Structure 1
Amino acid sequence: MPLTPPPLVFTLDPPVDPALRDGVVTLWADVSDAGGAVGFVPPVDPDDVRAELVKHLASMAEGRTRLLVGYDEDGAVAATAFLALNTHRLMRHWLWLYTVMVHPRHQGKGYGRDLMDAAADAARGIDGIEAIRLTCRGGLGLERFYEACGYKEVGRVPDAIRVAPGDDRDDITMLLSLR
């Protein structure tokens, strides 16, 4: 009988310190280099990832974004998702979920679903939030994973993401109702 891996420990809005910053940069670069669809294509320069993370951290400091982190049994950053609140007065009842990542060494253990469940729980804990939207890159089967987590495809823009010359992918919008 296979051993069950220890669960990740999820923390919403952990203190941002150098260990967290470095852990997120490492996770993001490793996921990207493994072919993950998180805003980069391999090979990834960690300095490019760090510059993008600074934008996320600024949004967090302004209270527009929340960070969910999953830590493994060694205390390392193993998974993340960012929850971006809407500032538009007509759209404050839903939020965006983005940069959803599980470290490649932890994939296949059910941690992706655990991360999505933790993100939904975090969103439910934010006053007035009734739904989560996310986008994913077509051509990788990601929409099937998100559908298995309860999301529904609500939109698709063909060839909106140019991964490389001659390699355009659909931008797929998914929605999870929390009601």
Structure 2
Amino acid sequence: MALTFELDPALTNELRDGVVALWTDVSNAGGAVGFVPPVTAEDVRPGWLGHLTAIAEGRMRLLVGRDEAGAIAATAFLAFNTHRLMKHWIWLYTVMVHPGHQGKGYGRDLMAAAADAARGFEGIEAIRLTCRGGTGADRFYAACGYKEVGRVPGAIRVGDGDDRDDVIMLLPLS
């Protein structure tokens, strides 16, 4: 069964709890979404609050995918550039599919829904994202049409002696 996607859902306590739980589960399953496991909901909550602030200020939009039971199963955050010379593209942050739903094509569905949402934003011509090297995420994003446009070697330190590349990828929307 496919996910149902919603752009800009109501910012309820249920949404907060669902996104924080998803973020915690994805992180603890080894997902490269800003944390190194193990993490708790309390570890993740400041990330949610940072995104929530950007949403409230109109700098970010939230895309949520719900499974057939209505549970939050996937998210992506689309962030507008504030620099006057870069307003023609957006950032994609915190792309997540619940570990229990991986392997069902939901990641590709989420990426397609994010691109569709971005196409609806006036003046947006591309989506840019970064991902942690060594996780296979760059191969996934490439399979979704993104092209690697840069790489910063060793920019992400996930542990002592474990530095990963920061891979920069771009999806033109035209």
**Counterpart selection for 1:112 from 107, 119, 135:** 107
- 1:33 correspondence with 2:28: yes
- 1:142 correspondence with 2:132: no
Q: Which amino acid aligns with 2:113?
A: A
> Which SS does the other structure have where 1:146 is aligned?
helix
**Counterpart selection for 2:92 from 79, 83, 97:** 97
Q: Segments of 4+ in structure 1 off by > 4 A?
A: none
**Counterpart selection for 1:123 from 114, 118, 123:** 118
CA distance, structure 1, for counterparts of residue 46 and residue 84 of structure 2? 29
Corresponding residue for 1:59? 54
CA distance, structure 1, for counterparts of residue 105 and residue 43 of structure 2? 29
CA distance, structure 2, for counterparts of residue 63 and residue 48 of structure 1? 25
Deviation per CA, 1:30-50: give whole Å up to 9, x if none: 000000000001000211211
Q: Which amino acid aligns with 1:48?
A: D
Query: Structure 2: 5+ residue runs without aligned partners?
Result: none
**1:78 Cα offset (Å):** 0.2
> Which runs of structure 2 are paired with 1:162-173 in the superposition (5 Å)?
162-173=157-168
Corresponding residue for 1:43? 38
TM-score (norm 2): 0.99
> Which SS does the other structure have where 1:19 is aligned?
helix
Query: Structure 1: 5+ residue runs without aligned partners?
Result: 1-5
Corresponding residue for 1:3? none
CA distance, structure 2, for counterparts of residue 141 and residue 101 of structure 1? 14
Q: Which amino acid aligns with 1:62?
A: E
TM-score (norm 1): 0.97
CA distance, structure 2, for counterparts of residue 153 and residue 116 of structure 1? 16
- 1:177 correspondence with 2:172: yes
- 1:154 correspondence with 2:153: no
Percent identity between the aligned chains?
Answer: 74
* Pairs aligned (count): 174
Deviation per CA, 1:51-72: give whole Å up to 9, x if none: 1101100100000000000000
> Which SS does the other structure have where 2:51 is aligned?
helix
> Which SS does the other structure have where 1:126 is aligned?
coil
- 1:87 correspondence with 2:111: no
> Which SS does the other structure have where 2:131 is aligned?
strand
Corresponding residue for 1:14? 9
